[in-house]
Amino acid sequence: MSSLSLPPLPDNLTVLGCGAAVVDLLAAVAAYPKPDDKIRTTSLKVQGGGNAANALTCAARLGLKPRLISKVADDAQGRSILEELQADGVDTSFFVVSKEGNSPFTYIIVDNQTKTRTCIHTPGYPPMRPEELSESSLSSALDGTRLFYSDVRLHETALVVAEEAARKNIPILVDAEKKREGLDDLLNFSDYVVCSANFPQAWTEAPSITSALVSMLLRLPKLKFVIVTLGEDGCIMLERSLNESPETEERDIDSLVESLKQRKHNDIAIPTCVSSVTFFL
């Protein structure tokens, strides 16, 4: 394991996020129930969730210093969300806590037979308003920040943060899980985008995932790279080349990715990266 160890991280790697922090109730069942069925769970877990909360928890466990802007209510679920994030090292001092209403939560039915999950989400109420993040809090949240992350939840507040982050030349990463209100505005500010498998084609209407990634780079001139996650098949990353070199060539993106797949080593248990030469878009 020592050969896989990462070098020590600098002390100033602060990541600021804005988005969902919820309670997940995960009920595993032998098979998804039919209408009017009464079944029993095979297991039940209650834990923190939400794209932004999950991403920043991972950042904390990797040794970064994450801060999260979000909103919960002063109820048992809200207190649980804050306590779990704090225990993992996420700075929750920029949360808004409503005295009334409810914190967001999601029922998740995990089907052991088909290996799928069905999510039934209840949004938090009242929703977060941009004016609830004061100018002083925004300034403090961005102080020392090296990256701003948004999952496109709380999009009005996230856009306010993104505009200020861009003004301060802080890189912006958008988690594009699916089309959401406010997504296009945030994408226009983004330096990096990480997509779900279905998003690139849904957003661009391109005929393939790889051509959709090319289309995203063409439509978003500020974008430095875009990644699409593909589950057990890993991911594909398309990076904009800043400098043309003598090796740069024009190639069909779909055939290029197919050639990279042929170079994968399926017998290697650790994550690996297979890269191409630079090519013209």
**What average pLDDT does range 188-193 have in this prediction?**
97
**What average pLDDT does range 47-73 have in this prediction?**
96
Asked whether residue 119 is domain-assigned, the answer is no
If one counts the domains in the chain, the total is: 1
* Helix pair angle (51-61, 76-87), 10° resolution: 30
Asked whether residue 194 is domain-assigned, the answer is yes
pLDDT band at 272 (very low <50, low <70, confident <90, very high): confident
**What average pLDDT does range 122-133 have in this prediction?**
96
Is residue 189 within 8 A of residue 222, CB to CB? The reply is: yes
Global model pTM greater than 0.95: no
**What average pLDDT does range 126-150 have in this prediction?**
96
**239 vs 273, more confident:** 239
Asked whether residue 249 is domain-assigned, the answer is yes
Dihedral (Cα; 134, 136, 141, 147), 10-degree rounding: 90
263-273 exposure pattern, b = at least 16 Cβ within 10 A, e = fewer: eeeeeeeeeee
Asked whether residue 222 is domain-assigned, the answer is yes
Asked whether residue 42 is domain-assigned, the answer is no
Asked whether residue 115 is domain-assigned, the answer is no
- Strands (E) in the chain, as ranges, are 14-18, 22-29, 43-49, 65-69, 71-73, 96-98, 105-111, 116-122, 145-150, 172-176, 192-195, 225-229, 235-239, 249-250, 279-280
Tokens of 215: 């289309």
Is residue 157 within 8 A of residue 148, CB to CB? The reply is: no
Tokens of 260: 């990279």
Q: Is the pLDDT of residue 154 over 70?
A: yes
What CATH number has the domain bearing residue 161? Answer: 3.40.1190.20
Taking Cα atoms as reference points, which of 209, 201, 69 lies closest to residue 145?
69
Asked whether residue 65 is domain-assigned, the answer is yes
Beta-carbon contacts of residue 265 (< 8 Å; ≥ 6 apart):
272
Asked whether residue 155 is domain-assigned, the answer is yes
Domain that holds residue 221: 10-20+53-97+128-280
**DSSP element (H, E) containing 209:** helix 209-219
Tokens of 93: 């001092």
- In what side-by-side order are the strands of the sheet with 105-111? 43-49, 22-29, 105-111, 116-122
